[in-house]
Each structure stands twice: as C-alpha cells, then as structure tokens.
Structure 1
Amino acid sequence: MIAPLTRRLLRLVAVLGVVALAAFGLMQASPIDPVDAYLGPQVAQVSPEQRALIAERWGADQPATQQFLHWLGNMLRGELGWSRVYNAPVSEVIGTRFMASLPLLASAWLGATLIGFALGVIAGTREGGWVDRWICRYAYTLASTPTFWLAILGLLLFSVTLGWTPVCCAGPAGVTRDELSLATRLHHLLLPALTLSLLGVAQITLHTRARMLELMRSEVALHALAQGASRRDVAWRHGARHACLPALTLAFASLGELFGGSMLVEQVFSYPGLGRATVEAGLRSDVPLLLAIALFTALFVSVGNALADGLYRLVDPRLRQVHP
C-alpha cells in the first residue's frame, strides 16, 4: 500500500505545481494592474510615489520569477498570504467562503448524480420509446444551455415573476448567518442548487443510457427476459450496477466543472461563496487569493477522484483484485 500511496502523493504534488505555475502565469499576463485594481476609483487621487510604495509593499515591483518564488516559500511554510480584496488572511477567506459554498455544491452534485443516473436508467430501459426520446432531447438541450443563461432565466421566472424564491443572497439582508433558521437557508439555497445541479445532469444521463443499452442488448438480459423477468427487473437488478461505474466516474470528474459553474451561479444570485470570491479575486487581481483558490480547487478535484477510485471497489468486487 505504501508504494501506490507514494505515487499518488507525487502525482498530486506535480499537479499542484503545474496549477500554481499556470495560475501565476495567467495572472502575470492579465492586463489588470493589481495596484490600480486595489485603488479603484481613487487611483486618480494617489500620487505616483504612493503608488510605488504600495507596489513595493506587495512586491509587485519585483520580477515575476522572484514574486513566484517568494509566494512559494511562504506557502511551504503554511502562509498563504493576505487577501487585498477582503483585507483578511487568505486561509480565513477560503475557509469562510468554502463553508458557504459547501451546501450549494453538495446539494447540486447529489442532485445531478441521482437525477442523471435515474433518467439514464429509464431511457436505456425504454430504447426507442417516447420516454427515451424525450429524455434524450432533454439531456441534449441541457448540454447546450449556458449556465449563466439558465440561472438568469430561473431568477426571472421563479423569483421575479412568481415570487416563489428569494432574489439573491444566502439569507435576508441585514441578518447574520447565525440568526438564520434552517428553513430560511434552504429557501435561499433551493433555486441556486437546482440551477447548478442541471449542469451535470446531461452527461450522466447520456453515459448511463449508453451503458444500459449495452446491457439490455446483451445475453445476460436476454436470458433473464426468457426466464420471465420484466425489463424493469433487468434494468434495476442487473443494469443499475453495470451503469454505476460511468456515473460515478462522471460525477467525481465533474467536480471541477461544478465549481466552474458555481462561479456563474453565485454571481447571478449574489451568493457569498467561494465561486464569487474567485471572480472578485480575478477582476481585482488579488494574486495571493486567486493562487490559493486555484490550488484548493485542484486539491478538491483530486480528492474527489481518489474517492471515486475507492467507491469503484465497493460497486464492482472484481476491481478489488486489481493492483492499484
């Protein structure tokens, strides 16, 4: 077990290093000046000398290589830096914002996985029928629908027109998080989570349907049907486990895509999560915060993939005999 774990850790370190280099390179290539973005409208009132002092304080006047090595050294010592946007330690900002995004991400991920898997099994069981055709059309429509457009449409319909859901935020204005009841939190979470969950439904549905069609055309299904089993019994007793592996693969592999979609959804609904913090860090060139979020996201997706590998062995006992 030591050798596989060592290889995994080395691959993870390599991935995090590449992500850090890529994120830092993109920030350096950005046309947004960090000092100007920090000052905002007050940039015209700041003298060149004061601006130079701010750049020197942040190390923005140093060469890019030296800036990156300085940041890397601090990170290896456990210091992620100071967020210029939120005027707080980066670790504190990520912890607070991630805890705010966690219910949104978890509910959206669970909803996309369960709904997509159920629709895929139903469509694969009824090949060529009207149910199969409508589910496929629904999946293809979702796959081609932009996330931000879907969020805006849901906001206009359910919040503005019908008034069923709140317009924005994770709670009423002026109310702290500790004062919110569970019902109020769920009410504000419902529409953003539903919108975000639709992002991953299409892929899971189509891949699950493909695996179900493969099983329903096999000799195993033919033998079960010949013994008097119904198509529903064959689908849920034999096909569900057969289709679990691609569904699990896509569910965990889509964590990065889910986080990317959360940036747009949180912007539309003004949800104070990590996705919105990422957008603000990028627009205002908050390099320490953006680098830390990039590493955190890569680590989050890597842990998800590792969990998927572990679940494979529970779903398919044959994989337990395969050396990792």
Structure 2
Amino acid sequence: MTCLIAALGRRLLRLIAVLGIVALAAFGLMQASPVDPVDAYLGPQLAQVSPEQRALIAERWGVDQPAVQQFRLWLGNLMRGELGWSRVYNAPVGEVIGSRFLASLPLLASAWLGATLFGFILGVVAGTREDGWADRWIRRYAYTLASTPTFWLAILALLLFSVTLGWTPVCCAGPAGVTRDELGLATRLHHLLLPALTLSLLGVAQITLHTRARMLELMRSEIALHAFAQGASRREVAWRHGARHACLPALTLAFASLGELFGGAILVEQVFAYPGLGRATVEAGLRSDVPLLLAIALFTALFVSLGNALADGLYRLVDPRLREVYQ
C-alpha cells in the first residue's frame, strides 16, 4: 500500500511538472507570435477604432504589460480556478472548453476505438504468415496511410463521399438551423460517420506495424515452434498466444497517440466544419485568443497524461507480471 501511494505521488509530481512546462512553452509561443491580440480581435473594424480606444482595449486585457507580468497574472488566476475569458466566443474559457469537448468526444472516441481495433486486427493478420499476400497488402496499406497528410485525406473523403456521391453531409454536426437538442441519434451518427472514419484511418498505420512486429517475434519463438510440433495451426497460435503477446504495444501506442489524435482532429474538424474543440483551437489561434489557447494546451496535456496513466493500469490486467511493481 505504501509503494502504491508513493508511486501515485511521483506520478502526480510528474504531471504537475509537465503541465508547468506546457504552460511556459505555450505562453512563450503566444508571445513570439506576430499576431497582435487586439488587432486580431478587431479584424476589419480596426480602421474604425482610434489609437486611444485600441490602447484602452490593450490595457483592459493586460496585453500592454511585460510578458512576465502577464504570465504571473494568468498563473495567479489559474491557481484560483479561473481560466479567463475567451475573446472569440465572449464566454468563460471553462464553458467553451466544456461544451466544445463534449461535441468532440463522440468523434475522438469513435475514431480512437476504430483505429485501435482495426489496426490491431490487421497487425495480427499480417504477422500470422510473414511475406504472405495478406502481409504484403497490409504493409503497403499501412505505409500509405502513414505518409498521407491529414488534411489531404479529409478533403479527398469530403469530395468523394459528400460532394460526388452524396452519401454523407458536407459539413457540421447537424443540419443548418437545427439546435443540438433537436438532433436525433440517426442524424448525429450520419454527420459523425465520415469525420470519424477519416480520423480513425490516421491511427491505424502505427498500431498495425507495431502489432505485426510483435506477432512476427512470437511466431519465430520457441513457444510457437512447440505449438506447431503439437499440431497447432498458425492461425491458432496467432490468436491464442500472439494476440495477448501483442496487446501491450498496441495499448501503448493507442494511449500514446491521444495527442496525435487530437492534432488530427484539429484538421479534420476544420475541413468538415465540425464544431468541436479542434475547430475552437484553430479559431483561437487565428484571432490570438491567448486565454483559450493556454487552457486548451493544458487540457490536452492533462488528457494525454491521464490516457497514459490508464494504459499503465490496463497493463496489469494484460500482463500479471507487472502487478508486482505496485505491490
């Protein structure tokens, strides 16, 4: 029990250190950005605002102060549980992140689950028989996906399935003019289908290739040789022994890729005009909404860290040998 508390304490300290580094890095990038927050906020109305009014806005937001003072003020508000005010959405940052993340959650969850399951199955199939026809085609498929840009794949899917074939909606999470509460389940799934499939394809390649590598390692081992000598087929060895052997790297990559999944969601949501947290990140960046950008950076770091912690817990269920570390 003492070892478990100590391990949790070390993990908490590492999490605090990671969040601090992320906050410093994000704030530094915002300060180095050539986009002026006041000019970006005013946009076309900048010509109608006098220098005195612009100075008052800068003073009201605190952007006329030195960078160190701005960061100290933001950090003090954060310690009190205040994330700030979003200038783009004219709402508290916490409410913006909460509502946008709830909109992105079905997209992220379905894409993550699809990429994990599909990539794992393809990796097991490819590693069952090395250099077979299935192995060759799956490797080509994985290498092609790994080298495909996210935005290009999203645009191609949009042009093919939405514009040309008309099978899926062109944009958004629902029909125009319809509130979120009025949407039915079938309508939500119809609008979610193409963005989720596009985003899930991005995480398939790495899981497939690493699962295949672990499967090949097992199929060349003495365990597989002993099973073959007893009359077991390659398929039986792969699914009875190899699948469990390949679970650990698949889980590692699945949870470690949460950051990449969120990065892909930023581009996918922008292409499909999906009103989630990814699109809010783009809008906040274009209009230099510093409080919202800093909060999203911290939220993403926390999201990925919790995913890694969950992976550590699942490891002990998959491999009982790891349980001794926490005893």
TM-score, normalised with respect to structure 1: 0.99
CA distance in 2, matches of 1:272, 1:132: 39
Please say which of residues 225-234 and 73-82 is displaced more in the overlay: 225-234
| Equivalent position SS for 1:174 | coil
Match of 1:32 in 2: 35
Match of 1:214 in 2: 217
Match of 2:258 in 1: 255
> How far off is 1:322 after superposition?
2.0
Match of 1:281 in 2: 284
> How far off is 1:226 after superposition?
1.0
Choose which of 137, 142, 150 in structure 2 pairs with 1:139: 142
> How far off is 1:216 after superposition?
0.4
TM superposition outliers: structure 1 runs of 4+ over 3 Å: none
Amino acid at match of 2:251: L
Choose which of 148, 154, 157 in structure 1 pairs with 2:157: 154
CA distance in 2, matches of 1:5, 1:242: 27
> How far off is 1:124 after superposition?
0.1
In the alignment, does 2:123 pair up with 1:129?
A: no
In the alignment, does 2:19 pair up with 1:16?
A: yes
Amino acid at match of 2:58: A
> How far off is 1:274 after superposition?
0.2
Choose which of 205, 210, 225 in structure 1 pairs with 2:228: 225
> Between the two proteins, what is the percent identity of the paired residues?
90
Match of 2:317 in 1: 314
| Equivalent position SS for 2:27 | helix
CA distance in 1, matches of 2:78, 2:265: 26
Choose which of 84, 87, 90 in structure 1 pairs with 2:87: 84
Amino acid at match of 2:122: L
Match of 2:300 in 1: 297
In the alignment, does 2:196 pair up with 1:193?
A: yes
Match of 1:111 in 2: 114
CA distance in 1, matches of 2:127, 2:8: 38
CA distance in 1, matches of 2:253, 2:311: 9
TM-score, normalised with respect to structure 2: 0.98
- Post-superposition Cα deviations, 1:12-46, rounded to whole Å, max 9, x if no partner, equal 00000000000000000000000000000000000
CA distance in 1, matches of 2:159, 2:129: 35
- Post-superposition Cα deviations, 1:155-211, rounded to whole Å, max 9, x if no partner, equal 000000000000000000000010000000000000000000011100000000000
CA distance in 2, matches of 1:72, 1:203: 37
Amino acid at match of 1:80: L
> How far off is 1:311 after superposition?
0.3
In the alignment, does 2:6 pair up with 1:3?
A: yes
Match of 1:266 in 2: 269
- The root-mean-square deviation of aligned C-alpha atoms, in Å, is 0.6
Alignment of 1:224-243 (within 5 A): 224-243=227-246
CA distance in 2, matches of 1:280, 1:23: 16
Amino acid at match of 1:321: E
Count of aligned pairs between the two proteins: 324
| Equivalent position SS for 1:101 | helix
Show structure 2 runs of 5+ residues with no match: none
> How far off is 1:3 after superposition?
1.0
- Post-superposition Cα deviations, 1:239-282, rounded to whole Å, max 9, x if no partner, equal 00000000000000000000000000000000000000001111
Match of 1:167 in 2: 170
Choose which of 33, 51, 54 in structure 1 pairs with 2:54: 51
> How far off is 1:2 after superposition?
1.5
> How far off is 1:225 after superposition?
1.0
| Equivalent position SS for 1:322 | helix
In the alignment, does 2:45 pair up with 1:42?
A: yes
CA distance in 2, matches of 1:223, 1:2: 42
